[in-house]
Structure 1
Amino acid sequence: MRHRLRLAVLLSCAFAVPTMASTATDPTDRHAGVARIDRARLDQALRGFVDSGQVIGVSALVYQDGREAYAGAFGLADREAGRPMTRDTLVRIYSMTKPVTGVALMQLYEQGKFQLDDPVSRYLPEFAGVRVYAGTDVHGQPLLEAPARPISIRDLMRHTAGFVDGEGAPGPVGALYRQAAPESYDNTLAEQSRRIASVPLLYQPGTRWVYSPAVEIQARLVEVLSGQSFKHYLDQHVLGPLKMRDTRYRVADGDRGRVAALYRRSDDGVMTRDDHEAWKLNGRDTAMTPGSWGLVSSLDDYMRFARMLLDGGELDGARILQPATLRLMASDAMPAGTTDRSWLPGKGQVGFGIDFAVRTASPARGDEASGEVGEFFWDGAANTLFWVDPTNRIAAVLFAQWLPFGKVPLHKAFRDAVYLDDSSAAAPRD
């Protein structure tokens, strides 16, 4: 009965969810999502960042209408070794792991294993007794209250669960999070979930958008609902069927020479190699297989994932998701009353779906990156990026390897070079 109900829901979504990016655009609008893939313009945009010394190495791949429309690689994957950046280079994709996790969990949704509005505590009992931070008393001790409603699985997938935003979070809840140490490399996903559940929520579920470790709980749900370890589930149901042979948590010794070095950029633009950060997970044998980060991938591998999303959940005969499920993931699910969206507005005119940002309006200012209404995308801490644009039939992947995120307008220049005229594509100088 539950399976038949789920089928009815999926069929209703197929008719009820509007076609993504159905809004027509005016080609005279310099911010409209009118894609004109020009290899020379893209080369100029990306090479300019390397030539100006702002970026050590960068690579990009664009597909349009099912065909490769652009591939380029510039600069060095490893400056100290003199090794060039190529399309075969492996990079740490950090938070671009999140959409992969979301796809895995939504496969189980299709199987009727859960409903999006189910309480997380139905499957992970450690969340049954969670409390919400409500300020401090006269002695500076945290005051806690009961949640107005349980955390739902939908909250996990759109970052409205109430969790604190990770290891560097300020305030009493941040201190309690660090004391619980859920991000220790020795933690399994089960232990990580228990530790996160022991920390009070920062806010009432559904009232704010705060980027958080919620995707680790998604990965734990995959384990509980499937009966497999998260890594094995990914290998068997997502990475394997998509033939993503380069995408993994651990880098084999024989592949070390393909991995890009990771650099840390100072405020004055100096890039310093950071080997400790680079290998804190991928070079170690640890229990941790995060849902939020940790995978390495190659351009062509991650493009297979992006092309699957563009093609409605299927690639080369491998059906990963149903089209209705994918439309659900790529639709804005932000609660209407959510006025605090943290730094998300910095991504442009966007809402948030299921592990993707979703563009809801054309760029409103000149400093916003170009794009099309209805596209969905995400990026990674080391300045990787991908997006899927159903209107222009585009999937794009951009790789670089430096921390912290931003400070160099690479993403905007790449997007502008895909969508805009030549005058906007040149790399700005420091």
Structure 2
Amino acid sequence: MDPLSADNTLAQFSQKLAQVPLLYEPGTHWSYSAGVDVQARLVEVLSGQPFDSYVKQHIFDPLGMADSGWKRDEADLARLARIYVAQDDGTLEPMPRDEWLKANFMGKPMTMGGSGIVTTVDDYMRFARMLLGEGELDGVRILEPATVQLMATDHLDPRIGPENRSWLVGKGNGGFGFDFFVRTGPPLDAEENRGTTGEFFWDGLPSMLFWVDPVQDMAVVFATQKIDFDGTLHHDIRDAIYGADYTGAK
């Protein structure tokens, strides 16, 4: 079915995905999925607008995120930060990207809910600060505080044990809200990344990370471009910010 092909529209994606069997019975496992892309299609159906147009009108433009969007042209390629691939000898080699980007994003109809936005660190930080402000930044309200709180609440059934949470358990002592890992308790040991109970975050393929820590009134955008995913970078930046001995207590 290939529902996530860049040649599909979100409407075509949703129709194809509906024909793909579920991996598990609902409520029994957490698995990384196309759920955020389903959310994007729901936005289209409920609003009557294409997803990218809705996000531009209701999020990007009000927040002043003028450099963010899905649809890019070839002139943007020169501005993209280079991704580097770690070699066996420890050196970093630039990842070939021009043909891949053209094939997957330039002029393609898919506007995924879970990926595909090209942006800048400054724009990303404005989005993170909006979440820190419980949906508001610089007098502009994007979300209601209750909505952000719902997003940042662990919704996993406690009966879904660590063995049924895939690699989510490696991200720390917590669960999953609406599109975020949510920390529900302090770090359990010295190996776990430092952080505060109540923080929420997500990361990305080239070792990228951003998080929002309401207790510390702090938002962080950690922009890295390294493949394979390097969790030691996240451990080190959190040690540098919180201190290696931080307990994570409120």
- Count of residue pairs the alignment pairs up: 242
Match of 2:23 in 1: 202
1:395 matched to 2:219: yes
CA distance in 1 between partners of 2:202 and 2:217 (Å) = 17
- The runs of at least 4 consecutive aligned structure 1 residues that moved more than 4 Å come to 280-283
Correspondence for 1:317 among 139, 159, 175: 139
1:368 aligns with 2:192: yes
Cα contact 1:261–1:278 (8 A) shared by 2: no
Match of 2:48 in 1: 227
Q: Could you tell me how far apart the structure 2 residues matched to 1:196 and 1:266 are?
A: 36
Higher relative contact order (CA 8 A, sep 6+): 1
Percent same amino acid among aligned pairs?
51
CA contact (8 A) 2:6 2:105 kept: no
Equivalence for 2:202: 378
- 1:261 Cα deviation from its structure 2 partner: 1.3
Q: Which residue is 2:79 aligned to? A: 258
Shift of 1:402: 2.4
What's the CA shift for 1:267? Answer: 4.3
Q: Which residue of 1 aligns with 2:153?
A: 331
What secondary structure, in the 3-state scheme, does the structure 1 residue paired with 2:108 have? Answer: coil
Deviations 1:259-300 (A, max 9, x none): 111222234434232224861567511011111111122111
Does the Cα contact within 8 Å between 1:187 and 1:287 map onto a contact in 2? yes
Alpha carbons 1:281, 1:294 under 8 Å: kept: no
Q: Deviations over 1:90-118 (max 9, x none)?
A: xxxxxxxxxxxxxxxxxxxxxxxxxxxxx
Residue 310 of structure 1 deviates from its aligned partner by 0.6
Q: Secondary structure at the match of 1:345?
A: helix
Specify the SS of the correspondent of 1:297: coil
Look up the match of 1:56. none
The aligned residue for residue 126 of structure 2 is: 304
Aligned partners of 2:123, 2:48: CA distance in 1, in Å? 27
Deviation at 1:375, TM superposition (A): 0.4
Structure 1: any 5+ residue segments left out of the alignment? 1-179, 423-430
In structure 1, the residue matched to 2:6 is 185
Question: What TM-score, normalized by structure 2, do the two folds share?
Answer: 0.91
Counterpart amino acid of residue 152 in structure 2 = A
Give the counterpart letter for 2:31 in structure 1: V
Distance 2:194 2:211 in 1: 12
Query: Residue deviations 1:140-179, cap 9 Å, x none?
Result: xxxxxxxxxxxxxxxxxxxxxxxxxxxxxxxxxxxxxxxx
How far apart, CA to CA, are the structure 1 residues paired with 2:73 and 2:111?
Answer: 16
1:334 aligns to what SS in structure 2? coil
State the TM-score, normalizing by the size of structure 1.
0.54
Q: Does 1:357 align with 2:181?
A: yes
Change over 3 Å in CA distance of 1:194–1:266 after alignment to 2: farther
Give the 3-state SS of the residue equivalent to 2:240 in structure 1: helix
In the aligned structure 1, how far is the partner of 2:182 from the partner of 2:89? 33
Distance in 1 of aligned mates of 2:138 and 2:222: 23
Distance in 2 (alpha carbons) for counterparts of 1:381 and 1:280: 19
Residues 287 and 234 from structure 1, CA distance in 2 versus in 1: closer, same or farther, beyond 3 angstroms?
A: same
Contact 2:210 2:222 in 1 (8 A): yes
Q: Following TM superposition, by how much is the alpha carbon of 1:341 offset from its aligned partner in structure 2, in angstroms?
A: 0.4
Q: Report the Cα offset of residue 253 of structure 1.
A: 4.0
Q: What's the secondary structure of 1:409's corresponding residue?
A: helix
Quote the residue 1:160 is aligned against. none
Matched to 1:236, the amino acid is: Q
CA contact 1:375–1:390 (8 Å) conserved in 2: yes
Which secondary structure does the structure 1 equivalent of 2:202 belong to? strand
Shift of 1:255: 3.6
Give me the whole-angstrom Cα distance separating, in 2, the residues matched to 1:352 and 1:412.
20
Task: Work out which of the two has the higher radius of gyration on C-alpha atoms and give 1 or 2.
Answer: 1
